[in-house]
Amino acid sequence: MKKIIFSLLALSLIVVSCQNDQIEEIHEHQEITVDMSDFYVYTDDVCTSKSSDGKHTHKCYSMTVLNRQLKENPGLENRMYNIEKHTRKAIVAKSKTDINGKKPAPDGGDDPVPYVGSITIPVIVNILEDPNHPVTQAHINSQIDILNEDFNNNNPHTGGVPAEFSDVVANLDITFVLAGVNRKASTTSSWGTNDAMKYSSQGGIDATDPSIYLNFWVCEIGGGILGYAQFPGGSLATDGVVIGSDFFGENAAGGQYGHGRTATHEVGHWLNLRHIWGDGRCRQDDFVSDTPSSDGANYGCPSYPTYNCKSNDMTMNYMDYVDDNCMYMFTSGQSDRVRALFTTGGDREGFVN
Ligand SMILES: [Zn+2]
């Protein structure tokens, strides 16, 4: 009720102050509202499937780390809610703008303005060196090349996208540029997932300003985990992506995960993408309208189609768990989610301003 009274008051003020400015009044009336009733942050971190070699039940540990961070940081859930709300508003606003990002009058109001054009992300690679799992400059360079392939729809396997999904394949138009490499000798053979590698006080390497750099930490994680990322909204000190040494870049030691796609998947999380199956069986979604619902992760290299939750799985999406050579697409809906972070008021706006 309080809200309605406030709205009426605001409306009367606008009518008084904008009698000669009808457009201004229309802006106020058309402010975007979005439905947030399906929003969730806590997820099941139990997987029943396994990779083909049985070693990587949890290929990616991002959701488990998120559950931990939500418990440790009471403000995080609210921040993620607000980022999600802004994302949804930005996606609605995008549908109301022309290709140059201009709003056709008289629309607008406080809508987030979509960011148009290529986005450049400077990358810092922090390496905790283990002589048994070397990370060379060639590995680093190949990882940057692979990210640039995948975020610009130049993956060599993209021809494998089935006709059913070919209309929604997206070019995110994001370029990654190597800005620096930090190396530190380490005798730790299993860093785990508690972010110790991100603090020099715990033997790791401190992040380089995560408001303008994407930080990678490359180290031995242990537990069969390939990598994990922090979602937008978390603490700046730990913002970035952790990748196991053998899975960074083109690296024969990584086997079927040695082609750099763990980083693509984890950067997807860092850019606010959820797992394609929504981490909750058929009942939870990934907040993307053009990715089919699914009941869980796919592993190996599934042959199309695999059917779950009344639709064919998009197993070739980077946000599934399949082998590196079997993932080769993002969708337009995922692109909209990612690029919403770079709109006015977006959580990663600092990268474009
Ligand atoms: Zn993941």
Which pLDDT does position 37 carry in this prediction? 94
Which pLDDT does position 18 carry in this prediction? 40
Q: Which is higher by pLDDT, 13 or 116?
A: 116
Report, as an integer, the average pLDDT of 237-244. Answer: 98
Which pLDDT does position 101 carry in this prediction? 64
CA distance 253 to 351: 33
Which pLDDT does position 22 carry in this prediction? 44
The answer to whether residue 26 scores a pLDDT higher than 50 is no
And the tokens for 230? 């922090």
Give the model's confidence band at 100: pLDDT under 50 very low, under 70 low, under 90 confident, else very high. Answer: low
CA distance 82 to 58: 28
Average pLDDT, the chain: 88
* Ligand 1: centre distance to CA 204 (Å): 23
Question: How does DSSP assign 11-72, residue by residue?
Answer: HHHHHHHTTT-HHHHHHHHT------TT-------------TTSS-TTSB-HHHHHHHHHHH
Task: Say which range, 11-20, 49-58, 63-72, 318-327, has the weakest mean pLDDT.
Answer: 11-20
The answer to whether residue 322 scores a pLDDT higher than 60 is yes
Q: Are strands 241-244 and 307-308 parallel, antiparallel or unpaired?
A: unpaired
Which pLDDT does position 65 carry in this prediction? 95
What are the distances in angstroms from CA 242 to CA 53, 214, 216, 347? 22, 11, 6, 20
Give the model's confidence band at 161: pLDDT under 50 very low, under 70 low, under 90 confident, else very high. Answer: very high
Which pLDDT does position 19 carry in this prediction? 42
The answer to whether residue 16 scores a pLDDT higher than 50 is no
The answer to whether residue 336 scores a pLDDT higher than 70 is yes
Q: Nearest CA to 245 among 326, 175, 143? A: 143
Q: What percent of the chain has pLDDT over 90?
A: 75
Strand order across the 119-129 sheet:
174-185, 119-129, 214-219, 241-244, 227-229
Report, as an integer, the average pLDDT of 80-103. Answer: 85
For Cα atoms 306, 49, 321, give the angle at the middle one, nearest 5 degrees: 65
* Ligand 1: centre distance to CA 191 (Å): 18
Helix, strand or coil, per DSSP, at residue 246: helix
Report, as an integer, the average pLDDT of 22-35. Answer: 60
Report, as an integer, the average pLDDT of 195-201. Answer: 98
Is 220 known to be catalytic? no
* Ligand 1: centre distance to CA 244 (Å): 14
* Ligand 1: centre distance to CA 11 (Å): 45
Which positions ≥6 away from 251 have C-beta within 8 Å? 139, 142, 258, 260
Encoded amino acid at 278, one letter: G
Report, as an integer, the average pLDDT of 164-182. Answer: 98
Give the model's confidence band at 112: pLDDT under 50 very low, under 70 low, under 90 confident, else very high. Answer: confident
Give the model's confidence band at 144: pLDDT under 50 very low, under 70 low, under 90 confident, else very high. Answer: very high
Tokens 């394609």, residue? Answer: 276
Which pLDDT does position 243 carry in this prediction? 98
The answer to whether residue 245 scores a pLDDT higher than 50 is yes
Q: Which of 129, 220, 266, 349 is catalytic?
A: 266
* Ligand 1: centre distance to CA 243 (Å): 12
The answer to whether residue 24 scores a pLDDT higher than 50 is no
Cβ atoms 352, 118 nearer than 8 A = no
Cβ atoms 207, 237 nearer than 8 A = yes
Q: Are strands 241-244 and 311-312 parallel, antiparallel or unpaired?
A: unpaired
* Ligand 1: centre distance to CA 269 (Å): 7
Q: What percent of the chain has pLDDT over 70?
A: 84
CA distance 25 to 270: 38
* Ligand 1: centre distance to CA 275 (Å): 6
Task: Say which range, 3-12, 236-245, 330-339, has the weakest mean pLDDT.
Answer: 3-12
SS (H, E, C) 226-242: CEEECCCCCCHHHCCEE
Taking only the tens place, the pLDDT of each residue in 181-192 is 999 999 899 999
* Ligand 1: centre distance to CA 278 (Å): 10
CA distance 339 to 115: 7
* Ligand 1: centre distance to CA 291 (Å): 16
Cβ atoms 229, 76 nearer than 8 A = no
Neighbours of 306 (CB within 10 A): 12
Predicted TM-score (pTM) of this structure: 0.88
Q: Nearest CA to 189 among 239, 245, 242? A: 245
* Ligand 1: centre distance to CA 7 (Å): 41
Taking only the tens place, the pLDDT of each residue in 207-223 is 999 999 999 999 999 99
Q: Nearest CA to 345 among 110, 138, 179? A: 110
Task: Say which range, 1-5, 180-184, 252-256, has the weakest mean pLDDT.
Answer: 1-5
Tokens 């070693």, residue? Answer: 55
Give the model's confidence band at 56: pLDDT under 50 very low, under 70 low, under 90 confident, else very high. Answer: low
Q: Nearest CA to 29 among 14, 44, 40? A: 14
* Ligand 1: centre distance to CA 58 (Å): 9
Report, as an integer, the average pLDDT of 189-208. Answer: 97
The answer to whether residue 5 scores a pLDDT higher than 70 is no
Tokens 């201009």, residue? Answer: 102
* Ligand 1: centre distance to CA 262 (Å): 8
